[in-house]
Structure 1
Amino acid sequence: MLLERAWRVGLRSWKPIKPSPARSRNFSINPPTPRALPRWQRYLRRTGYFGFSIGVVWAVDRQFNASAIGRNLRTLWACALITAEYKMNFTPEKSDQIPELHERVADIMFNLFTSNGGLYIKIGQAIGANAAFLPRPMQIKFASLFDDAPQIPHSDVLSVFASEFGRPPSGPGGMFEYFDEKAIASASIAQVHKARMWPEPGEKEGQWVAVKIQKPAVAKQTEWDLGAYRVVMWLFEKVAFDLPVYFVVDFVSEHLRRELDFQLEAQNAQRTAAYVAADPRLSQTVYIPRVFPALTTKRIMTAEWIDGVRLSDRDGILRLMGDLPGSPTPLRGGTRAIMEPMVELFSNQMFLWGWVHCDPHPGNVLVRPHPASPRKPQLVLLDHGLYVQLTEEFRRDWCSVWEGLLAGEWGVVDGVTRKWGVGMPDLFASAVLMRPVKLGRGRPQREAEERGKPLEEMTNYERSVVMKAKLRGFLTDTDRMPKVLIFLLRNMRMVQGNNKSLNSPVNRIKITGYAASHALTRITPHASLRARLHEYHHYLVFRTVMLSIDAAFWIARTRQWLWRVLGLGRDGMGFEDEIERSVRGLAKSSFGMDVGADAFDG
């Protein structure tokens, strides 16, 4: 009891001992507040952190994502500049400065495509396929947008082979007996090496082949680039130009993806080779290199090596055919023996096969002596990555348009174009034939009345407004428009450009027109007596028009010959040159567009 009472008294009398100030400072739970840094030091530190973060993102993007983010930022910046340029400077008050505006925008676009490379070159070429409808500075810039790029290092080639085959290209255990480490050609998405296969049993030496290798960065960049392309086209339609351009995005993107699948390209080549082999005439004049499926993957394709002169080497072709001195044994037939099978080949693709090679630029065509007849030329068609398949309905309509244009049946042309959601059949017909066409009477006068005053009296701004209105009237319903027309018209422009570069040795319109008419008779072989009589009359008109076109062609050829004989020039003015001059005149009078002489070369 005494102890308990003492304990309670002690508790009541106990008081906590207060620590001294010195002890309080030494044993405080909260640390002392640091003295604030000067403002300039804080800003400097934040800037350093931000710069370091940007550097890390840039390094990671470049190392693991092939600079896809950086390329997209560059694209969006270019789009912002273009949009701002047109919003601020495309005004009636600055009409005199519009040519300089187009020049600046052309530089921005060209620098963007060449800086980003890869698929951007393909996208730029797709846009440039319609260069004739772009301002003059853009026509010049897009004409120089070549599909060329530096080679990737051999270490990257080894990595592609390791991922695709698990083996090196050459050496012990290699895919080939010999593989040239230096590429013979390098484009934006792939490069080509020459190699020799291992000899088969009984062979002393393996076959020489061309090995096409996709660059490693392309696969990483594809979806990013196509996403940026989608944004760009949307901005151009909705913000910058107010023109219907976005409707082609899905179609173009899908075909660009297919072009990156080399197994699909090998299948395209085999299918085209089968079509050519089944044609008695083309099988003797055209050749598709053999592909080797066992040595082909999605990113590597192996095909037969072909020695020949590229069509892009104009002087080499002319020497090979004896039109220029320097060939000891020129091939027979002259340049006509080259262009005639070329026009027939692509006409058959459009009208008979419905299977069309869409990239026949001169770099993709070789000319060589025929292996079985060394004095005759043979065309070799390369690069089968880009094809379009035509539906039976579209192929029938496409044949009808061509025959209707050449037989003067404007009702047929008008009906098909309206079915396709295309207005202004005159403009469409001119784009198809690549020559001025006026359907019906009084149309030029009505157009002049609608404009109110001649184009020559309009300002740059007013002419641009008229051109945009006409292009919107041309594409009246983009949902119904067959997207394959984009590639078909591109194909035809390239074939025309090839014919022009060789001084127009063949009447391209005549060959194409007869192919369309022949294909149409095969589509509808049986008809009633009344329908047959109508067809006979139709065919008589068709032949009459074709005779007039052929007469114009031979007049142009005679003029060329006189120029050469009189020493006024080796080439003179060919048939295709005269057609292009007429089309440029039509563009100037109808749209106020200054179209360059090389805008139709494709």
Structure 2
Amino acid sequence: MARRALKIISWTSMALASSGFYLYSNKYLDPNDFGAIRIGRAVATTAVISYDYLTSLRSVPYGSEEYAQLKSKVHRRSAERLRELCCANRGTFIKVGQHLGALDYLLPEEYTSTLKVLHSQAPQSSMQEIQQVIREDLGKEIQDLFQSFEDTPLGAASLAQVHKAVLYDGRTVAVKVQHPKVQAQSSKDILLMEVPRIYWELSTRRVLLMEFVEGGQVNDKAYMEKNQIDVNEISQQLGRMYSEMIFVNGFVHCDPHPGNVLVRKCPGTGKVEIILLDHGLYQILTDKFRLDYCHLWQALIKADMKRVKKYSQRLGAGDLYPLFACMLTARSWDSVNKGIGRAPVTANEDVEIRNNAATYLPQISQLLSKVPRQMLLILKTNDLLRGIETALSARASASSFLSMSRCCTRALAAHKKKKTCSLLRRTQISLEESLSLWQINLHELFLRVRGSWLGNWIFALLYWLSPTPH
């Protein structure tokens, strides 16, 4: 029974250890995070959670209905304690809590539903504190700047909170105000794509006025149903967008928790849009890392295990490359061997992943200590995207892997063309690229009609046409 309880405890340990490692290794920790009070809270919370699991489940028969009900209650109590810890320590702890709240495919529901409130309902600064920041930075009182200013924030996150306001010229704006105790995190913003318009004349290093953009959170299925937005289309667009960032551009928005990703129908055209918020956490990928990662994903999608091993090891995984492949894809080792793009995720596979995640905690920690720092934020981003797919019930689709495969193909072809001045060779590369993209399109067609005689014929044709990797 003690072993069962310890295994359950490892859910919390695994999530906190891995998420904390992402942040620590990339130096995003608040310098005050290691203060005695903050560490004391964290240690005390971990001890209480561990004691609760060990004592509450000790005398109940494992596998019984009573055990399941009691375990759910312990999960809920533990999640609430973690949430209270995050709110008390703020800063980085809230970022970790946001990450955990998005891991629907991995953590028990009691944890994710409890911690999800941190996506947009983190601890708030008081109105007096907000007035002080605006007064210090803009040199005026709120009533002198705005016709109206809503006291209740639209959302509060780890570093700032957002208020809706109206300027005296009638423009509706979103006012993002940094919490008073937060240190400046960077000297400049790096923009990947069009973000909401910024009103620089009324912005400072701690107050940001932006165009007000409405939409629903990317994991809000009810909002999408109400506005007739196809969740599968959103999942596919999100996959394409992040594949472009990672494989083609090498410049990645690394905080896609649901509070930072909105969806809406454009008022003018009715076209579905994805809106990224909070551009404070990006990762710039080196060409070497990006291309090795491209090769690895191509190998994973084609079930080329020799190349999976080769490129996993080039990315620092060493002999733990099977675990690395499972962590990247959120698939079982059996599915990785068969080809992740050839079969959808099943309920049984999800259960297997959850069970193994806790079992392999020591190896996961060892692996995280080996891979490059760039990989840590990519893993965090992958976790958040998988969580969104799960919330949208779109995780069973293999379409996201096909989007990744297309981007990998384009990125590798572009790299090869850069390295040659021969027109003949460039033409050859373009033809190979077109053939590969055509094969991916055929594969996508197969997935749509799988089980029919046409699907089986296409599957056989793909195997026959598949070129030898080089």
Q: Same fold (TM over 0.5)?
A: yes
> C-alpha displacement at 1:513, in angstroms?
1.4
Q: Partner of 1:397 in structure 2?
A: 292
> C-alpha displacement at 1:149, in angstroms?
3.5
Q: Partner of 2:173 in structure 1?
A: 209
Distance 2:200 2:61 in 1: 58
Does the CA contact (< 8 Å) of 1:419 and 1:480 recur in 2? no
* 1:494 paired to 2:384: yes
> C-alpha displacement at 1:363, in angstroms?
2.9
> C-alpha displacement at 1:169, in angstroms?
2.5
**When the two structures are superposed, what TM-score results if normalisation uses the length of structure 1?**
0.53
The verdict on how the C-alpha distance between 1:339 and 1:440 changes in structure 2, with shifts beyond 3 A counting, is: closer
The verdict on how the C-alpha distance between 1:368 and 1:506 changes in structure 2, with shifts beyond 3 A counting, is: farther
Q: Which shows bigger deviation, 99-108 or 425-434?
A: 99-108
Distance 2:273 2:45 in 1: 45
Q: Match for 1:272 among 188, 192, 198?
A: 192
The verdict on how the C-alpha distance between 1:127 and 1:366 changes in structure 2, with shifts beyond 3 A counting, is: closer
The verdict on how the C-alpha distance between 1:375 and 1:353 changes in structure 2, with shifts beyond 3 A counting, is: same
* 1:124 paired to 2:16: no
Aligned-partner residue type, residue 385 of structure 1: G
Q: Partner of 1:298 in structure 2?
A: 205
The verdict on how the C-alpha distance between 1:541 and 1:119 changes in structure 2, with shifts beyond 3 A counting, is: closer
> C-alpha displacement at 1:81, in angstroms?
4.6
> C-alpha displacement at 1:95, in angstroms?
11
Q: Match for 1:77 among 20, 34, 44?
A: 44
The verdict on how the C-alpha distance between 1:431 and 1:310 changes in structure 2, with shifts beyond 3 A counting, is: same
Distance 2:137 2:235 in 1: 39
> C-alpha displacement at 1:308, in angstroms?
3.2
Aligned-partner residue type, residue 399 of structure 1: C
**When the two structures are superposed, what TM-score results if normalisation uses the length of structure 2?**
0.66
> C-alpha displacement at 1:521, in angstroms?
0.9
> C-alpha displacement at 1:140, in angstroms?
6.6
The verdict on how the C-alpha distance between 1:487 and 1:415 changes in structure 2, with shifts beyond 3 A counting, is: same
Q: Which shows bigger deviation, 357-366 or 386-395?
A: 357-366
* 1:179 paired to 2:146: no
Q: Which shows bigger deviation, 177-186 or 390-399?
A: 177-186
| Superposition pairs of residues 449-598 of structure 1, within 5 angstroms | 470-474=360-364, 480-504=370-394, 507-525=399-417, 526=419, 547-548=442-443, 551-553=446-448
Does the CA contact (< 8 Å) of 1:289 and 1:381 recur in 2? no
| Superposition pairs of residues 64-213 of structure 1, within 5 angstroms | 70-79=37-46, 81=48, 103=75, 108-126=81-99, 142=115, 146-149=119-122, 151-171=124-144, 174=145, 176-197=146-167, 205-213=169-177
Aligned-partner residue type, residue 214 of structure 1: Q
Q: How many residues align?
A: 389
Secondary structure of residue in 2 paired with 1:403:
helix
Structure 1 residues without counterparts, runs of 5 or longer: 1-64, 199-204, 223-256, 274-286, 324-333, 442-462, 557-602
Distance 2:305 2:437 in 1: 13
Question: What is the CA deviation profile of residues 394-423 of structure 1, one whole-angstrom value per residue up to 9, with x for unaligned ones?
Answer: 111111111121233322221121123314
Does the CA contact (< 8 Å) of 2:405 and 2:440 recur in 1? no
Q: Partner of 2:243 in structure 1?
A: 347
> C-alpha displacement at 1:364, in angstroms?
2.4
The verdict on how the C-alpha distance between 1:149 and 1:467 changes in structure 2, with shifts beyond 3 A counting, is: closer
Distance 2:254 2:276 in 1: 12
Question: What is the CA deviation profile of residues 460-500 of structure 1, one whole-angstrom value per residue up to 9, with x for unaligned ones?
Answer: xxx99x97784444565655412232322332343344445
Q: Match for 1:319 among 226, 232, 236?
A: 226
* CA-atom RMSD in angstroms: 4.5
Secondary structure of residue in 1 paired with 2:142:
coil
The verdict on how the C-alpha distance between 1:80 and 1:340 changes in structure 2, with shifts beyond 3 A counting, is: closer
Q: Partner of 1:387 in structure 2?
A: 282
Does the CA contact (< 8 Å) of 1:496 and 1:508 recur in 2? no
The verdict on how the C-alpha distance between 1:540 and 1:435 changes in structure 2, with shifts beyond 3 A counting, is: farther
Question: What is the CA deviation profile of residues 302-348 of structure 1, one whole-angstrom value per residue up to 9, with x for unaligned ones?
Answer: 11112334434322222222x6xxxxxxxxxx455544433221111
Secondary structure of residue in 1 paired with 2:278:
coil
| Superposition pairs of residues 426-465 of structure 1, within 5 angstroms | 426-438=322-334
The verdict on how the C-alpha distance between 1:335 and 1:123 changes in structure 2, with shifts beyond 3 A counting, is: closer
Distance 1:344 1:206 in 2: 37
The verdict on how the C-alpha distance between 1:523 and 1:537 changes in structure 2, with shifts beyond 3 A counting, is: closer
Secondary structure of residue in 1 paired with 2:292:
helix
Does the CA contact (< 8 Å) of 1:129 and 1:490 recur in 2? no
Question: What is the CA deviation profile of residues 159-184 of structure 1, one whole-angstrom value per residue up to 9, with x for unaligned ones?
Answer: 1112222222332xx3x454333323
Q: Which shows bigger deviation, 358-367 or 384-393?
A: 358-367
Structure 2 residues without counterparts, runs of 5 or longer: 1-31, 339-353, 452-470
Q: Match for 1:361 among 257, 261, 279?
A: 257
The verdict on how the C-alpha distance between 1:537 and 1:357 changes in structure 2, with shifts beyond 3 A counting, is: closer
Distance 2:128 2:112 in 1: 38
Aligned-partner residue type, residue 343 of structure 1: G
Does the CA contact (< 8 Å) of 1:310 and 1:317 recur in 2? no
Q: Match for 1:413 among 286, 308, 317?
A: 308
Q: Partner of 1:42 in structure 2?
A: none
The verdict on how the C-alpha distance between 1:533 and 1:415 changes in structure 2, with shifts beyond 3 A counting, is: farther
> C-alpha displacement at 1:301, in angstroms?
1.3
Does the CA contact (< 8 Å) of 1:132 and 1:139 recur in 2? no
The verdict on how the C-alpha distance between 1:483 and 1:211 changes in structure 2, with shifts beyond 3 A counting, is: same
Distance 1:207 1:540 in 2: 51
Does the CA contact (< 8 Å) of 2:119 and 2:257 recur in 1? no
* 1:374 paired to 2:269: yes
Distance 1:531 1:475 in 2: 43
Secondary structure of residue in 1 paired with 2:192:
helix
Question: What is the CA deviation profile of residues 126-180 of structure 1, one whole-angstrom value per residue up to 9, with x for unaligned ones?
Answer: 4566686668875675566544145433221111112222222332xx3x45433
Does the CA contact (< 8 Å) of 1:161 and 1:167 recur in 2? yes
Does the CA contact (< 8 Å) of 1:403 and 1:542 recur in 2? no
Does the CA contact (< 8 Å) of 2:251 and 2:282 recur in 1? yes
> C-alpha displacement at 1:121, in angstroms?
1.6
Distance 1:538 1:380 in 2: 31
Does the CA contact (< 8 Å) of 2:196 and 2:211 recur in 1? yes
Q: Match for 2:320 among 411, 424, 440?
A: 424
Distance 2:373 2:445 in 1: 32
